[in-house]
Amino acid sequence: MSDYKYSIEAKNVNKIFYKKSKEIKALINFDIQIKKGSIHGLLGPNGAGKSTFINVLGGLVKKNTGKVSICGIDIDKNAKKSKFKIGIVPQELNIDPFFSPAELLELQAGLYGIPKQKRKTDEILYNLKLSDQRNAYARTLSGGMRRRLLIAKALVHSPEMLILDEPTAGVDIDIRSSVWNYIRKINKLGTTICLTTHYLEEAENLCDTISIINFGKKIKEDTKENLLNIISNKTVSFVINNDFSIPEDLKEFNPIKNESKLTIQYDKNKTNLKKIINILNRDKIDFKEINTFESDLEDVFLKLTKNNDLSN
């Protein structure tokens, strides 16, 4: 594989669409860096600009200004070579209904000029749990199978970079898990992954780094861990065995007493659970059960996009 630091690098990308003489700014000075070998999430509400950027990468939409490189190759200077470096799985289930999965993969491999002896049709179908349907008409496949077939098509030329636009939309939980496992597998083998998703659980489960986009602008790009630290609130609840009064030292944590249950919210960057337990022990408040709840990526996403809404 080529020597480059970022599989995708974009700087100051702008895209304006015109609809009935109205100007729609789909991307505004958009920057992104997706590190080679990573799994990167591109998150944002509907209409944020995610699909527009993916279409710029695939050559389906022409940007107005800015610079984009794929695996170190400038897409303006060498569009053909850059397209061989990337595989794109679109959101729409656009599959020819009268071909079988095996025929579609063979046809796709032929379009990329891959010799028959180097094709991986059976391996790809097996990994995406489509071996049993290899000779079935695509029109007979379920929505989840079609989604996996799109991923299969994008992998026939062994791209260094794979873009997945809503890869598990309409896929049931069991299949979603198998798709996640396959994404991790091909990533470990060296393929860089970028995925857009509405399932924040998916991004939290898979991604190393995340960019959040809204109204065509990037509003945050960081590691998953740093993003989760943006909201540092943690909730802990205790089931108490004996009668108790709330200790004075806990009142700064907005405690809620509900019969035998005590619920406390605290900032994990300023205090820790051990301090709270020590106060309970000191005041001889005996508890039999403890449950903790932390912020997840959904909380971060909602906070950042809400703040961005207010600034527009």
Instruction: List, for residues 126-160, the tens digit of each pLDDT value.
Output: 988 899 999 999 889 988 888 889 999 999 999 99
Mean pLDDT by 10 residues, the chain (312 residues): 86 94 94 96 88 93 97 95 93 86 96 94 92 93 86 94 86 79 90 87 88 90 83 84 90 89 85 90 91 73 67 44
pLDDT tens for 47-88 read: 889 999 999 999 999 999 999 999 999 999 999 999 999 999
Residues 6+ apart with CB under 8 A from 105: 119, 121, 124, 125, 152, 153, 156
Tokens of 236: 């802990």
**What pLDDT is stored for residue 310 in this prediction?**
41
Measured between alpha carbons, how far is 97 from 139 in angstroms, rounded to an integer?
4
- What is the model's pTM? 0.76
For the chain, domain boundaries: 233-294
